Structure 1
Amino acid sequence: MIRKISVQDLRPGMEVVRMASDMWTHLPYLYTKPGVIRSEMEVHRIRQEGYLDVFIRQEVPDDGKTDDERLERIVLQRRDNPPRKRRAPFQREIRKARKAYDEALVQTKRMMSDVKMGRQVDVESTTHAVEGIINVAVQNPDALICLSKLSRYDSYTYAHCINVASIAVVFGEYLGLPLEDLVLLGLAGMMHDLGKTAVPERIINKQGRLLPREFEEVRKHPTYGQMILEKSGNIAPRVVQAVAQHHEKFNGSGYPHGMRKDDIGVFGRILSLADVYDALTSDRSYKDAILPNKALAIMYGMRDQDFCSIEVQMFIKCLGIFPSGSLVRLNTGDLGVVFESNPERPLLPKIKVILDEDLRPIPAKLVDLAAEQNPVFNIVECADPSQYKLNLKPYIQTRE
């Protein structure tokens, strides 16, 4: 199991691991050189060089369970959550999700342009866009999650804002937040990176490791966003607070104020989860996307550091161990696309089988793994669509 720890807790004998995403090598304070730490002198050197965090490989008890089974057991321990309501048909809601997503994307581009031009944020239009996202999230959250992972747009900045808003609203709905809170949460998600308009693009899009002075400039963007929204004067205080806090961390190592635990508002904590998940699972100028289940495993390893342990477990349970939109390999060798997650049985989502073991298209077959009396299929692993040059979007779209 991979776990994020402070370098103050680093000890000889621990193994530093190479992360699956180059996202981490972009950060100047994360030690990323893989290998076993050999001595106290090496630990001292790493600390002296200014590194703050490191990912290590941590042994787990050999209880005969796979990582997925162990993770399922953990995320199912919290059974006091409000049950998710019956979902509307996926194929109907994916069309509505596409419309809501595209409208929100147009509004985000307009909002960013307005900010760069010194104009006020159009709260009414942005709220309307958020309400479209919420409507889909309430009816079938997997339609939004699937769309956010299978959509590809020219600008990561704009799509990231919509993805964070969508993921945050889906998680908020899962937690049972009332409608008025979902609207504010969605607004905060769409606006969370407005402050990056004040950061030079050469820094935002830099492909290599940021210099400390460059990273310090990036760390100012939540404050810049707060200032932009406060200047606008027509934004709810809870939205402004969430934008200012979305990079704070559970253990106090975040920015800009080093807030800890419950001192960080609920919206800020939710945005932090959504922000990291989308960043890990999206292509960037300096790194490739990683598989959704791998991203959730990494985030689980960040519990009690970046995230509250219970909250990240609930986030994983909300999205599912195999989130909607994932490509999975089955025990038969066939490949399928996950349509809908199963919060109560995370290893048994609904899937659409699309390719045989020789990667030949087959008549698409929708299978609910949880409903199979004598299951023919079970998921062996997640697969990477890019390895097969496979576009999954046609498999989730339907004719109007």
Structure 2
Amino acid sequence: MIKKIPVESLEPGMFVHDFNNQWDESRGVAPDGLDGPKMMASDADVRAVLAHGEIRELYIDTDRGADVEGGLSREEIEAELAQQMMELGDDDDDFVQPFQPDVQERPMEEEMEHAAEVKTKARKLVGNLLDDVRLGKTITVGPVKEMMKEMVESMFTNKDAMLSLSLIKSKDEYTFMHSVNVGVFLVAFAQSMELSPEEIVHVGVGSMLHDIGKMKTPQEVLNKPGKLTDDEFQIMKDHVVWSAKILGDTPGIHEISMHIAGRHHERWDGSGYPHGLKGEEIGQFGQMAAIVDVYDAITSDRCYHKGNDPHQALKRMMEWSKFHFNGELFQKFVQCVGIYPMGTLVRLNNGILGVVVQSNQGSLLHPVIKALIDSKAKKKLKPTRVDLLQKKDAEAWKVVGVEPPRKWGVDPKKHMDKPEMYQ
């Protein structure tokens, strides 16, 4: 049986199935052999796990090693997390409506082309800035602010258009597309927190530049496909210090942007870096950035791992949130991106499988899907767009679960709405 236990209960003779520690994308594959199943053969093995510092709970396989009293099975944990997610999407909840400036909202299909142009501009701008830092040049924040104003306007017009495009990403472009996608998600998050447009722009600037210090990281460490040594991981962690220094030397940078760049690897329980800040010491913007940074990282394909599906990523982060994130802010982030984020393959009560292509902010349990498969009849369907909110009272069209896309041969990105330039 696979069960979760506190790290303090770990003993020699236990077989660790999952170290439950993949929230830190900078680590790549974890050092010290803590990146996969492993037998705890000695006291030294146990001490190495305890010394890691960030591992608070882990999963053991009692069929392959010693057991211990207490703990919940993986199935019980999954059921508990699923219930917590459902509660966040309860239609009776009072959702906070974000501040809306005087911007005319547009349907997703109308905003898609504009959103694609803005994201393409962001991609090019971030790439140029990273090259400048790599070459030792001073960066200028003005163009980033102007680009962020365009992105914020697009997000207020229809945030789902930009969020949908963030699913289209390549592992070969991870370093700078991660910065762009963190910008997109963090701007959407900030919008849902009732921040002013000016504050949201500062959030966006900080998120676009949050990893700029990585350009001071040796390429052989930054792009290493295998696990990092302890020394290499220390070098990697220094990118946060470099980001703060580079932005600190850049005229016109706001304090909000500085907090995002300098604190996105701090953790709620004090186990993060570079300063080991804890709880409210991190500040709201650093806490928000930490959540978004991890979400984009663990949903991205990398050379050393396949990204998590969006819904599964949220469930894993909910599991970690009691230690590593501000739980209240994390719940608000879930409500921002949706219980079933775009790109999630959901199963309906009638056996239909469909990919979520748009959210319904007022009813998170009833997204817009593209129906693809009749699992009961075991046949593919002509892709059909279905707004589940319009079928809210029909039990047959209720979401009852989430399916792994690879199991059904589905690539969610192929079914998302795309502008002509992405066709």
Answer whether contact 1:338 1:350 (CA < 8 A) is retained. yes
Residues 1:374 and 2:394 are matched in the alignment: yes
Residues 1:193 and 2:211 are matched in the alignment: yes
Q: CA 1:89/1:386 → structure 2, altered by over 3 Å: closer, same or farther?
A: farther
Answer whether contact 1:293 1:323 (CA < 8 A) is retained. yes
What SS does structure 2 have at the residue aligned with 1:251? coil
Q: CA 1:85/1:28 → structure 2, altered by over 3 Å: closer, same or farther?
A: same
From 56, 79, 82, the counterpart of 2:96: 82
Answer whether contact 1:30 1:54 (CA < 8 A) is retained. no
Q: CA 1:176/1:15 → structure 2, altered by over 3 Å: closer, same or farther?
A: farther
Between the aligned partners of 2:21 and 2:410, the Cα distance in structure 1 is 19
Between the aligned partners of 1:196 and 1:108, the Cα distance in structure 2 is 13
Residues 1:362 and 2:382 are matched in the alignment: yes
- Cα displacement string for residues 318-349 of structure 1 (whole angstroms, at most 9, x for unaligned residues): 21121013233434443322122244543321
What SS does structure 2 have at the residue aligned with 1:351? strand
The number of equivalent residue pairs is 397
Q: Which range moved further: 17-26 or 136-145?
A: 17-26
- Equivalent positions of 1:231-310 (< 5 A) are 231-310=249-328
Determine the structure 1 residue equivalent to 2:68. none
Between the aligned partners of 1:4 and 1:76, the Cα distance in structure 2 is 30
Identity %: 27
Between the aligned partners of 1:180 and 1:275, the Cα distance in structure 2 is 22
Determine the structure 2 residue equivalent to 1:59. 72
Q: Which range moved further: 275-284 or 201-210?
A: 201-210
Residues 1:383 and 2:409 are matched in the alignment: no
Determine the structure 2 residue equivalent to 1:139. 157
Between the aligned partners of 1:72 and 1:175, the Cα distance in structure 2 is 21
What SS does structure 1 have at the residue aligned with 2:117? helix
Letter of the structure 2 residue corresponding to residue 376 of structure 1: A
From 312, 319, 322, the counterpart of 2:340: 322
Structure 2: unaligned runs, 5 residues or longer = 60-70
- Cα displacement string for residues 334-379 of structure 1 (whole angstroms, at most 9, x for unaligned residues): 3322122244543321212234445535052322246433243233
Answer whether contact 1:369 1:377 (CA < 8 A) is retained. no
Residues 1:351 and 2:369 are matched in the alignment: yes
Letter of the structure 2 residue corresponding to residue 299 of structure 1: M
Residues 1:68 and 2:82 are matched in the alignment: yes
Q: CA 1:274/1:351 → structure 2, altered by over 3 Å: closer, same or farther?
A: same
What SS does structure 1 have at the residue aligned with 2:72? coil
Q: CA 1:229/1:52 → structure 2, altered by over 3 Å: closer, same or farther?
A: closer
Q: TM-score, normalised by structure 1?
A: 0.86
- Equivalent positions of 1:54-203 (< 5 A) are 54-57=56-59, 59=72, 67-74=81-88, 79=93, 82-84=96-98, 88-152=106-170, 154-203=172-221
How far 1:190 sits from its partner (Å)?
A: 0.4
What SS does structure 2 have at the residue aligned with 1:92? helix
Q: TM-score, normalised by structure 2?
A: 0.81
Between the aligned partners of 2:389 and 2:32, the Cα distance in structure 1 is 43
Q: Which range moved further: 287-296 or 29-38?
A: 29-38
How far 1:149 sits from its partner (Å)?
A: 1.4
Between the aligned partners of 1:305 and 1:62, the Cα distance in structure 2 is 20
Answer whether contact 2:132 2:138 (CA < 8 A) is retained. yes
Q: CA 1:20/1:213 → structure 2, altered by over 3 Å: closer, same or farther?
A: closer
Letter of the structure 2 residue corresponding to residue 388 of structure 1: G
Between the aligned partners of 2:379 and 2:29, the Cα distance in structure 1 is 35
How far 1:106 sits from its partner (Å)?
A: 0.8
- Cα displacement string for residues 184-214 of structure 1 (whole angstroms, at most 9, x for unaligned residues): 0000110000000000111112122210000
Letter of the structure 1 residue corresponding to residue 203 of structure 2: L
Q: Which range moved further: 132-141 or 188-197?
A: 132-141
Between the aligned partners of 1:177 and 1:274, the Cα distance in structure 2 is 17
Answer whether contact 2:171 2:301 (CA < 8 A) is retained. no
Residues 1:45 and 2:65 are matched in the alignment: no
Between the aligned partners of 2:414 and 2:137, the Cα distance in structure 1 is 36
What SS does structure 1 have at the residue aligned with 2:176? helix
TM-align CA RMSD: 3.6
Between the aligned partners of 2:90 and 2:5, the Cα distance in structure 1 is 23
How far 1:183 sits from its partner (Å)?
A: 0.2
How far 1:30 sits from its partner (Å)?
A: 8.4
How far 1:274 sits from its partner (Å)?
A: 0.7
How far 1:27 sits from its partner (Å)?
A: 2.3
Between the aligned partners of 2:263 and 2:5, the Cα distance in structure 1 is 21
Answer whether contact 2:345 2:353 (CA < 8 A) is retained. yes
Letter of the structure 1 residue corresponding to residue 279 of structure 2: K
